[in-house]
Amino acid sequence: MTQANIRPTAQPEINATTDQDRRASWLHSAYSDQIWIVSDTHDQSRTAKIDFGFMLADGRSLMNVDRLRATVKEYAWWVRDSRFSRIDDAFTHASMVRNLMNLAHALTIRGIWSFAHLQPYDLEQLVEECRYGADAVLRASERVQAHLQTLAADNERDPKPFGGLPPYIIPSRGVRSGGAPTEKIVAACNLPPSATILPRVSALIRQAAVANGLRRDPAPEEIPQLTNVTVQALQRWLDPLEQLYAMRRHIDAEAITFKPFPRGAARVAAVKGVGTERTPTPPPHLALHLLEHAARSIFDNELGARADLTDRKAVVSVATACWIVIAAFSARRKAEIDDLRDGCLRGNDADGWWLQIYIEKTLQRRDWIPVPTLVARAIGALSEISRAARGASSTDHLFQWLGPNGEATPLDVARHLDDFALRVGVPLHRSSDSAATPWHWHPHQFRRFFAILYFYRFEGATLEALSHHLRHFNLEMTRRYVTQDPEAAALWTDVEWGYMGHVARSITAGERSVSGGAGERLKKAAHRLLDGLRRKLQVTSPDRAGASLALIMQRQGLVLTPKPWVTCSCPKTSEAAKQAACRREHASEADAVGPDFANAGPTICSACPHAIIEERGRTVVDGELNHLEAAAEHGARTGTVFGALEAARVVEVRRARELRYNAVQALETPPQAGGPSP
């Protein structure tokens, strides 16, 4: 199988570590051997094997690629040092080294032949792949599927026995057995033998074997989905990268040159190691478009004044809009939303609304969460839709409807999400390597919607209906309730980190005009990064430079909080609180951390060292200035204390606009380098 962009680069000499230098009671082989036998520290009868003859993406063995071999072997030696880990058993030792060899293979897929050449952008991609285990890291099922498709296409042109699949020959008897030699197919894809046990790989090969007459048993009905590994398993993937950086001054080999996880591998694993299926996260502009039109559908209620509720299409459409809005503002699971009952809403428009919903995995009881008026209207619409059905079924569930035949029918809106998105004109999604297609909506994705709304609501989307109905609603209160659930909190943090990467990328690409204390510092950092990449003749794509800037932001502990007039980047520390403009009047609060948004505003925040001022802030300031000027010029206030205060306020706001908000401009990006270094 031909591998695109997989080619070795020139390799310098690596100082060879001798067998004499690397001896230990747990190592029962010579350091230079391809296969190590290692044992527990305290029980040498318990052993495991580590085979460094690991196949890389170009078909070569790790043993034949000096730079990667040196790094992996040195890691395998030093990981038993108590300064870097607490590993003292052979099984865990071998498992961690295998993970690093899988990661080395993943680097070679990208044409990277040294851990020293790993960049933050590559690391981001690796972490996302590690979430789904060895199959995703090796891109194993993807490569096997491509290989099988190539064989099928070749067979179309030139038919061969069994569609070109090699039959399995029993070694002892020399006769064909029913089945395909999985090992040969995996090897043809330049994958290590361990890929044969991966469920998706096995199912794909079995499916092809049945289709081409090599097997007679039924083919798998479905190829299994990739699923999130556990938090603990993900940490075992990330720990070798973190440990390799910690070893950089000790190993006789190349190591990662930057701290891969400023927040720690354990924290990244806790956030990324959640979920079930590998469900793609919808791009924010698509999610916000869907949410905006769901809000409009509720308030433009398609049911109108019809009392018979017999139009199934309209009923399903409104129920789907209601489900989307409830999911967005509760961050609850599908089953929990589907279980909503009559009487689950309390409150009023003046004092606020509260929704009672069952919290399945943590509290295992019903709890009340604050919701905006929009959700109250959604519950009201569902109550009207389900009224007759509740009487007929003698149940109080809201997601049901009484059809024209007089039978109560459950409303399973999950099956209608794609239809609703098509009807409201959600834009097509275009990935980097394919044509534009409709996004496939899945209920799991909606748990991220509130975080997407919170962080991306000022990112250019037209959200008139949402903005109108959220104008008196405190998003911070809902955030506190939503993130009490550990899984929802992890999803929230994942979106928050994604937003930081989005901001960093758009600054380095020159797509985001910023000013303010933090904005100017970030532009300077981006300029230094781009200059550095250009001098090294490395690719200076926005994604790569943006990932490096995001890593700097993480190291500094920045916490991005979008406000209408600025994006606050104040870290949640006491030192940052001392510098925050919104806390200057309360500097005596020794235990204060982070910003105090109760004292924030356009003029206060614009002078803050943590402010990232953007173009949207000018619109807010212009609106406030127009309001103040009109009030100051009102005849009834002329010559009064109130008039003088308003005139002074006009001067203050006008000065902030001229000095800070009008200084917003984008980074001037240097020309891109032509390609990677040789």
Residue tagged 């024209």 (tokens): 404
Bridge partners of 515? 613
Bridge partners of 437? 429
Taking the C-alpha atoms of residue 27 and residue 232, their distance in angstroms, rounded to an integer, is 26
- Give the per-residue pLDDT at 210: 83
Alpha-carbon distances, residue 536 vs 7, 117, 256, 515, 530 (angstroms)? 20, 12, 17, 29, 10
Spell out the residues 6+ positions from residue 417 whose beta carbon is closer than 8 angstroms to its own.
Answer: 320, 324, 441, 442, 443
Nearest Cα neighbor of 110 from 653, 544, 571, 570 is: 544
CB distance 320 to 417 below 8 Å: yes
Residue tagged 């433009």 (tokens): 300
- Give the per-residue pLDDT at 13: 47
Q: Which tokens go with 261?
A: 């996880």
- Give the per-residue pLDDT at 95: 96
Give, as one character, the DSSP assignment of residue 78.
H
Give, as one character, the DSSP assignment of residue 171.
T
Q: What is the largest CA-CA distance in the chain?
A: 109
Q: Is the dihedral of CA 390, 392, 394, 395 positive or negative?
A: negative
Distance linking the first and last C-alpha atoms of the chain: 24
Taking the C-alpha atoms of residue 549 and residue 526, their distance in angstroms, rounded to an integer, is 6
Residue 621, class by beta-carbon neighbours within 10 Å (0-12 exposed, 13-18 middle, 19+ buried)? buried
Pairing of strands 352-359, 345-348: antiparallel
Residue 421 identity (one-letter amino acid): A
| Average pLDDT of adjacent 10-residue blocks, the chain of 678 residues | 40 61 94 96 94 97 96 97 94 97 97 95 94 96 94 83 68 57 90 94 88 74 86 95 96 95 93 71 91 88 54 90 93 89 92 85 73 92 92 93 89 93 92 80 89 87 74 78 80 92 94 94 93 73 89 94 94 93 76 90 92 90 81 63 72 86 83 42
Q: Which tokens go with 152?
A: 């099928």
CATH architecture of 289-431+438-476: Orthogonal Bundle (1.10)
Residue 50 φ then ψ, to 5°: -120, 115
Residues of the chain with CATH 1.10.443: 289-431+438-476
CA gyration radius, the chain: 30
Pairing of strands 514-515, 611-614: antiparallel
Strand positions, DSSP E, 108-187: 168-170, 175-177
Q: CB 586: neighbour CB atoms within 10 A? A: 13
pTM for this prediction = 0.81
Residue tagged 């569930």 (tokens): 397
Q: Is the dihedral of CA 85, 88, 92, 96 positive or negative?
A: positive
- Give the per-residue pLDDT at 539: 61
Taking the C-alpha atoms of residue 331 and residue 448, their distance in angstroms, rounded to an integer, is 7
Q: Which tokens go with 129?
A: 């792949």
